[in-house]
Protein backbone atom coordinates (compact mmCIF):
# COMPACT_ATOMS: atom_id res chain seq x y z
CA UNK A 1 0.00 0.00 0.00
CA UNK A 2 2.80 2.35 0.87
CA UNK A 3 4.43 1.96 -2.52
CA UNK A 4 1.09 2.47 -4.28
CA UNK A 5 0.57 5.80 -2.45
CA UNK A 6 4.04 6.99 -3.36
CA UNK A 7 3.39 6.18 -7.02
CA UNK A 8 0.06 8.05 -7.01
CA UNK A 9 1.64 11.09 -5.38
CA UNK A 10 4.49 11.06 -7.88
CA UNK A 11 2.03 10.88 -10.78
CA UNK A 12 0.02 13.81 -9.33
CA UNK A 13 3.12 16.02 -9.21
CA UNK A 14 3.97 15.09 -12.79
CA UNK A 15 0.51 16.03 -14.09
CA UNK A 16 0.49 19.28 -12.13
CA UNK A 17 3.84 20.35 -13.57
CA UNK A 18 2.58 20.00 -17.15
CA UNK A 19 -0.66 21.83 -16.55
CA UNK A 20 -2.92 18.91 -15.74
CA UNK A 21 -1.73 16.71 -18.59
CA UNK A 22 -3.61 18.53 -21.40
CA UNK A 23 -1.53 21.67 -22.11
CA UNK A 24 1.84 20.36 -23.18
CA UNK A 25 3.15 19.77 -26.68
CA UNK A 26 3.64 16.32 -28.00
CA UNK A 27 7.17 15.44 -29.04
CA UNK A 28 7.86 16.88 -32.50
CA UNK A 29 4.70 19.06 -32.56
CA UNK A 30 5.29 22.63 -33.94
CA UNK A 31 4.20 25.56 -31.76
CA UNK A 32 2.52 28.26 -33.92
CA UNK A 33 2.86 31.83 -32.65
CA UNK A 34 0.20 34.22 -34.00
CA UNK A 35 1.70 37.06 -36.12
CA UNK A 36 1.90 40.53 -34.60
CA UNK A 37 -0.29 42.84 -36.66
CA UNK A 38 0.89 46.44 -36.70
CA UNK A 39 -1.98 48.84 -37.43
CA UNK A 40 -1.37 51.18 -40.38
CA UNK A 41 -0.03 54.64 -39.57
CA UNK A 42 -2.78 57.21 -40.02
CA UNK A 43 -1.59 60.46 -41.57
CA UNK A 44 -3.81 62.99 -39.81
CA UNK A 45 -2.51 65.74 -42.11
CA UNK A 46 -3.22 63.94 -45.39
CA UNK A 47 -4.78 66.12 -48.10
CA UNK A 48 -8.48 65.49 -48.66
CA UNK A 49 -9.07 64.23 -52.22
CA UNK A 50 -12.80 63.41 -52.11
CA UNK A 51 -15.73 64.93 -50.23
CA UNK A 52 -19.44 64.21 -50.00
CA UNK A 53 -21.67 65.82 -52.61
CA UNK A 54 -22.96 69.09 -51.12
CA UNK A 55 -26.67 69.67 -50.64
CA UNK A 56 -26.67 73.13 -52.26
CA UNK A 57 -29.34 73.41 -54.93
CA UNK A 58 -28.26 73.31 -58.57
CA UNK A 59 -27.90 76.71 -60.18
CA UNK A 60 -27.51 78.60 -56.90
CA UNK A 61 -24.69 80.89 -55.85
CA UNK A 62 -23.78 78.49 -53.05
CA UNK A 63 -22.99 75.58 -55.37
CA UNK A 64 -21.15 77.87 -57.79
CA UNK A 65 -18.88 79.20 -55.03
CA UNK A 66 -18.39 75.75 -53.46
CA UNK A 67 -17.31 74.19 -56.76
CA UNK A 68 -15.06 77.11 -57.69
CA UNK A 69 -13.25 77.08 -54.34
CA UNK A 70 -12.63 73.34 -54.38
CA UNK A 71 -11.53 73.38 -58.02
CA UNK A 72 -8.98 76.08 -57.27
CA UNK A 73 -7.77 74.47 -54.03
CA UNK A 74 -7.28 71.24 -55.95
CA UNK A 75 -5.15 73.05 -58.56
CA UNK A 76 -3.09 74.65 -55.78
CA UNK A 77 -2.55 71.33 -53.98
CA UNK A 78 -4.39 72.43 -50.84
CA UNK A 79 -7.00 69.66 -50.54
CA UNK A 80 -10.78 69.82 -50.72
CA UNK A 81 -13.32 71.25 -48.28
CA UNK A 82 -16.54 69.65 -47.04
CA UNK A 83 -19.85 71.46 -46.74
CA UNK A 84 -20.83 72.03 -43.12
CA UNK A 85 -24.45 72.97 -42.50
CA UNK A 86 -23.73 74.77 -39.21
CA UNK A 87 -21.18 76.97 -41.00
CA UNK A 88 -23.76 77.50 -43.76
CA UNK A 89 -26.17 78.73 -41.10
CA UNK A 90 -23.54 81.08 -39.64
CA UNK A 91 -22.66 82.47 -43.08
CA UNK A 92 -26.33 83.03 -43.95
CA UNK A 93 -26.97 84.76 -40.62
CA UNK A 94 -24.13 87.19 -41.29
CA UNK A 95 -25.28 87.71 -44.89
CA UNK A 96 -28.69 88.71 -43.54
CA UNK A 97 -27.09 91.03 -40.98
CA UNK A 98 -25.13 92.77 -43.74
CA UNK A 99 -28.23 93.07 -45.91
CA UNK A 100 -30.38 94.46 -43.10
CA UNK A 101 -27.77 96.92 -41.85
CA UNK A 102 -26.37 98.00 -45.25
CA UNK A 103 -22.83 96.61 -44.75
CA UNK A 104 -21.36 99.00 -42.20
CA UNK A 105 -18.53 96.72 -41.07
CA UNK A 106 -17.80 93.61 -43.10
CA UNK A 107 -16.83 91.01 -40.52
CA UNK A 108 -18.04 92.33 -37.15
CA UNK A 109 -21.56 92.67 -35.80
CA UNK A 110 -22.87 95.01 -33.14
CA UNK A 111 -24.99 93.52 -30.39
CA UNK A 112 -28.45 95.05 -30.33
CA UNK A 113 -28.67 95.57 -34.09
CA UNK A 114 -31.22 93.60 -36.04
CA UNK A 115 -29.94 90.22 -37.20
CA UNK A 116 -27.11 90.07 -34.63
CA UNK A 117 -25.83 86.51 -34.00
CA UNK A 118 -22.22 87.07 -32.87
CA UNK A 119 -19.51 89.69 -32.75
CA UNK A 120 -17.23 87.77 -35.12
CA UNK A 121 -17.23 84.70 -37.37
CA UNK A 122 -16.10 82.33 -34.60
CA UNK A 123 -18.89 83.49 -32.28
CA UNK A 124 -21.47 83.21 -35.06
CA UNK A 125 -20.36 79.66 -35.87
CA UNK A 126 -20.59 78.71 -32.20
CA UNK A 127 -24.11 80.14 -32.04
CA UNK A 128 -25.00 77.92 -35.01
CA UNK A 129 -23.67 74.82 -33.22
CA UNK A 130 -20.18 74.56 -34.71
CA UNK A 131 -17.31 74.11 -32.23
CA UNK A 132 -13.93 75.38 -33.33
CA UNK A 133 -11.07 77.44 -32.00
CA UNK A 134 -11.19 79.77 -34.99
CA UNK A 135 -13.27 80.52 -38.08
CA UNK A 136 -11.76 82.37 -41.04
CA UNK A 137 -14.25 84.42 -43.04
CA UNK A 138 -14.07 86.09 -46.44
CA UNK A 139 -16.67 88.36 -48.02
CA UNK A 140 -17.09 89.82 -51.48
CA UNK A 141 -19.72 92.21 -52.79
CA UNK A 142 -20.14 93.60 -56.28
CA UNK A 143 -22.73 95.44 -58.36
CA UNK A 144 -25.13 93.34 -60.39
CA UNK A 145 -27.07 90.16 -59.79
CA UNK A 146 -25.68 86.62 -59.68
CA UNK A 147 -22.02 87.57 -60.15
CA UNK A 148 -20.92 84.55 -58.12
CA UNK A 149 -17.89 83.75 -60.28
CA UNK A 150 -16.44 87.08 -59.27
CA UNK A 151 -16.41 86.10 -55.59
CA UNK A 152 -13.76 83.38 -55.77
CA UNK A 153 -11.81 85.25 -58.46
CA UNK A 154 -11.53 88.28 -56.18
CA UNK A 155 -10.33 86.21 -53.21
CA UNK A 156 -7.67 84.60 -55.40
CA UNK A 157 -6.47 87.89 -56.91
CA UNK A 158 -5.56 89.40 -53.54
CA UNK A 159 -2.85 89.70 -50.92
CA UNK A 160 -4.76 88.70 -47.76
CA UNK A 161 -7.89 86.81 -48.77
CA UNK A 162 -6.02 84.23 -50.80
CA UNK A 163 -4.92 82.71 -47.49
CA UNK A 164 -8.15 80.66 -47.33
CA UNK A 165 -7.16 78.89 -50.54
CA UNK A 166 -3.91 77.67 -48.95
CA UNK A 167 -5.24 77.06 -45.44
CA UNK A 168 -5.39 73.63 -43.81
CA UNK A 169 -9.09 74.04 -42.97
CA UNK A 170 -11.47 71.15 -43.72
CA UNK A 171 -15.00 72.60 -43.56
CA UNK A 172 -16.79 75.42 -45.35
CA UNK A 173 -20.11 77.22 -45.04
CA UNK A 174 -21.40 79.52 -47.78
CA UNK A 175 -24.08 82.13 -48.33
CA UNK A 176 -23.89 83.55 -51.86
CA UNK A 177 -26.99 85.49 -52.79
CA UNK A 178 -28.23 88.50 -54.71
CA UNK A 179 -29.60 91.29 -52.55
CA UNK A 180 -32.94 92.97 -52.83
CA UNK A 181 -33.19 95.97 -55.15
CA UNK A 182 -31.51 99.09 -53.84
CA UNK A 183 -33.32 102.27 -54.95
CA UNK A 184 -30.02 103.82 -56.06
CA UNK A 185 -27.67 100.97 -56.98
CA UNK A 186 -30.11 98.20 -57.92
CA UNK A 187 -29.20 94.62 -57.11
CA UNK A 188 -25.76 93.43 -56.13
CA UNK A 189 -24.10 90.14 -55.26
CA UNK A 190 -22.73 89.34 -51.81
CA UNK A 191 -20.81 86.16 -50.97
CA UNK A 192 -19.95 85.13 -47.40
CA UNK A 193 -17.76 82.05 -46.86
CA UNK A 194 -16.67 80.64 -43.50
CA UNK A 195 -13.71 78.23 -43.26
CA UNK A 196 -12.80 76.12 -40.25
CA UNK A 197 -12.23 72.61 -38.88
CA UNK A 198 -13.55 70.79 -35.82
CA UNK A 199 -11.51 70.82 -32.63
CA UNK A 200 -10.69 67.10 -32.99
CA UNK A 201 -9.27 67.50 -36.51
CA UNK A 202 -5.79 68.35 -37.80
CA UNK A 203 -4.82 70.57 -40.71
CA UNK A 204 -4.60 69.02 -44.16
CA UNK A 205 -1.19 69.82 -45.61
CA UNK A 206 1.06 68.81 -48.52
CA UNK A 207 4.25 66.77 -48.27
CA UNK A 208 7.53 68.35 -47.20
CA UNK A 209 9.40 70.10 -49.99
CA UNK A 210 6.18 71.33 -51.61
CA UNK A 211 5.82 74.97 -52.62
CA UNK A 212 2.24 75.91 -53.48
CA UNK A 213 1.67 78.95 -55.68
CA UNK A 214 -0.97 81.23 -57.10
CA UNK A 215 -1.15 81.74 -60.02
CA UNK A 216 -0.47 78.00 -60.38
CA UNK A 217 1.76 76.53 -63.08
CA UNK A 218 0.41 77.00 -66.63
CA UNK A 219 -2.65 78.89 -65.43
CA UNK A 220 -4.26 80.99 -68.15
CA UNK A 221 -6.56 84.01 -68.03
CA UNK A 222 -4.74 85.52 -65.05
CA UNK A 223 -5.91 89.11 -64.36
CA UNK A 224 -3.50 91.85 -65.38
CA UNK A 225 -4.44 94.21 -62.56
CA UNK A 226 -5.05 94.10 -58.81
CA UNK A 227 -7.22 96.94 -57.54
CA UNK A 228 -5.29 97.51 -54.38
CA UNK A 229 -7.72 99.89 -52.71
CA UNK A 230 -10.60 97.42 -53.11
CA UNK A 231 -9.12 94.91 -50.67
CA UNK A 232 -9.85 95.56 -47.00
CA UNK A 233 -7.51 96.01 -45.24
CA UNK A 234 -5.50 97.63 -48.01
CA UNK A 235 -1.99 96.29 -48.71
CA UNK A 236 0.58 98.78 -50.00
CA UNK A 237 -1.82 101.72 -49.56
CA UNK A 238 0.46 104.12 -51.49
CA UNK A 239 -0.72 102.51 -54.73
CA UNK A 240 -4.11 102.75 -56.41
CA UNK A 241 -3.60 99.63 -58.50
CA UNK A 242 -0.93 96.97 -58.93
CA UNK A 243 -0.17 93.92 -61.01
CA UNK A 244 -1.59 90.55 -60.01
CA UNK A 245 -0.07 89.35 -56.70
CA UNK A 246 1.95 86.13 -56.97
CA UNK A 247 1.85 84.13 -53.74
CA UNK A 248 4.09 81.29 -52.55
CA UNK A 249 3.05 79.17 -49.59
CA UNK A 250 5.67 77.03 -47.82
CA UNK A 251 3.59 75.34 -45.11
CA UNK A 252 3.97 71.55 -45.14
CA UNK A 253 3.44 68.64 -42.75
CA UNK A 254 6.75 69.03 -40.91
CA UNK A 255 5.81 72.48 -39.65
CA UNK A 256 2.86 70.98 -37.78
CA UNK A 257 4.74 67.91 -36.55
CA UNK A 258 7.61 69.93 -35.14
CA UNK A 259 5.61 73.01 -34.19
CA UNK A 260 8.21 74.94 -36.14
CA UNK A 261 8.02 78.52 -37.33
CA UNK A 262 9.30 79.26 -40.82
CA UNK A 263 12.69 80.76 -41.53
CA UNK A 264 12.68 81.86 -45.16
CA UNK A 265 15.68 83.33 -46.96
CA UNK A 266 14.97 84.59 -50.48
CA UNK A 267 17.93 84.58 -52.85
CA UNK A 268 15.80 85.26 -55.92
CA UNK A 269 12.12 86.01 -56.48
CA UNK A 270 11.18 87.55 -59.80
CA UNK A 271 8.40 87.83 -62.39
CA UNK A 272 9.70 88.17 -65.93
CA UNK A 273 8.00 88.63 -69.34
CA UNK A 274 9.49 86.98 -72.45
CA UNK A 275 12.84 88.49 -73.44
CA UNK A 276 12.58 91.19 -70.82
CA UNK A 277 13.80 92.19 -67.40
CA UNK A 278 12.03 91.25 -64.16
CA UNK A 279 9.14 93.58 -63.41
CA UNK A 280 9.50 96.13 -60.61
CA UNK A 281 7.81 94.63 -57.58
CA UNK A 282 7.47 94.55 -53.81
CA UNK A 283 7.60 91.51 -51.53
CA UNK A 284 5.24 91.19 -48.55
CA UNK A 285 5.61 88.69 -45.72
CA UNK A 286 4.63 88.08 -42.10
CA UNK A 287 7.79 88.33 -39.99
CA UNK A 288 6.20 88.00 -36.55
CA UNK A 289 5.37 84.31 -36.84
CA UNK A 290 8.73 83.46 -38.39
CA UNK A 291 11.64 85.19 -40.12
CA UNK A 292 11.88 86.30 -43.75
CA UNK A 293 14.82 87.97 -45.46
CA UNK A 294 15.43 88.81 -49.11
CA UNK A 295 18.18 89.93 -51.43
CA UNK A 296 15.53 91.84 -53.38
CA UNK A 297 13.01 93.13 -54.33
CA UNK A 298 12.17 95.32 -51.34
CA UNK A 299 10.55 93.49 -48.43
CA UNK A 300 7.49 94.97 -46.71
CA UNK A 301 6.80 93.37 -43.34
CA UNK A 302 3.07 92.82 -43.06
CA UNK A 303 1.85 90.82 -40.07
CA UNK A 304 -1.71 90.69 -41.43
CA UNK A 305 -0.52 88.10 -43.91
CA UNK A 306 -0.62 84.39 -43.17
CA UNK A 307 2.57 82.84 -41.83
CA UNK A 308 4.53 80.59 -44.20
CA UNK A 309 3.52 82.86 -47.09
CA UNK A 310 5.46 85.26 -49.32
CA UNK A 311 3.74 87.46 -51.91
CA UNK A 312 5.44 89.42 -54.69
CA UNK A 313 3.35 92.23 -56.17
CA UNK A 314 4.25 94.06 -59.41
CA UNK A 315 3.94 97.80 -58.87
CA UNK A 316 2.28 98.36 -62.27
CA UNK A 317 -0.29 96.53 -64.37
CA UNK A 318 0.92 93.45 -66.19
CA UNK A 319 0.85 93.04 -69.97
CA UNK A 320 -2.18 91.34 -71.52
CA UNK A 321 -1.87 87.96 -73.30
CA UNK A 322 1.65 87.51 -71.98
CA UNK A 323 3.44 84.47 -70.59
CA UNK A 324 5.28 85.40 -67.39
CA UNK A 325 7.93 83.29 -65.69
CA UNK A 326 8.23 83.30 -61.90
CA UNK A 327 11.55 82.20 -60.45
CA UNK A 328 12.24 81.50 -56.80
CA UNK A 329 15.32 80.21 -55.03
CA UNK A 330 16.30 80.33 -51.38
CA UNK A 331 16.24 78.41 -48.12
CA UNK A 332 13.32 77.33 -45.95
CA UNK A 333 14.27 76.21 -42.45
CA UNK A 334 17.79 75.42 -43.59
CA UNK A 335 16.82 73.44 -46.70
CA UNK A 336 17.70 74.77 -50.14
CA UNK A 337 14.57 75.04 -52.32
CA UNK A 338 13.74 76.44 -55.74
CA UNK A 339 10.78 76.64 -58.10
CA UNK A 340 10.15 78.10 -61.53
CA UNK A 341 6.81 78.18 -63.33
CA UNK A 342 4.85 80.11 -65.96
CA UNK A 343 1.38 81.61 -66.24
CA UNK A 344 -0.45 83.54 -68.96
CA UNK A 345 -2.37 86.78 -68.43
CA UNK A 346 -5.86 87.49 -69.73
CA UNK A 347 -6.69 89.52 -72.82
CA UNK A 348 -7.63 92.58 -70.78
Residue 186, domain extent: 61-198
Neighbours of 285 (CB within 10 A): 26
Which of 304, 300, 299 is closest to 289 using CA atoms? 304
CATH label of the domain that carries residue 290: 2.60.40.1220
- For position 257, what pLDDT does the model report? 66
- For position 142, what pLDDT does the model report? 87
E-only strand ranges, the chain: 82-83, 136-143, 171-178, 188-196, 212-214, 219-222, 246-249, 263-272, 281-285, 291-294, 298-301, 309-314, 323-332, 335-345
Say yes or no: 223 and 187 in one domain: no
Tell me: the pLDDT tens digits for 179-234?
877 787 788 899 999 999 999 999 999 999 999 999 999 999 999 999 999 998 99
Say yes or no: 132 and 178 in one domain: yes
- Give the global pTM: 0.86
Tell me how many domains the chain contains. Answer: 2
- For position 19, what pLDDT does the model report? 36
- For position 12, what pLDDT does the model report? 32
Q: What mean pLDDT, rounded, does the chain reach?
A: 89
- Flag residues of the chain having pLDDT under 70: 1-29, 40-41, 103-104, 257-259
Say yes or no: 219 and 336 in one domain: yes
Amino acid sequence: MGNRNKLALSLLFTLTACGGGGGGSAPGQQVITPPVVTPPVVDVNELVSTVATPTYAAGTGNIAVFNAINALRDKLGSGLLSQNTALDQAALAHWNYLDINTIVSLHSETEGKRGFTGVDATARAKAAGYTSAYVDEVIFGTNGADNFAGCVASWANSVYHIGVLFSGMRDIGISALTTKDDPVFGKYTVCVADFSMGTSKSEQLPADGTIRTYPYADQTGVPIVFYNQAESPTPLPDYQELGTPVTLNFKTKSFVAAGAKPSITISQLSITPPGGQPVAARILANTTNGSVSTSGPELTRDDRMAAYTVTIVPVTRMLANTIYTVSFSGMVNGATVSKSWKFTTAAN
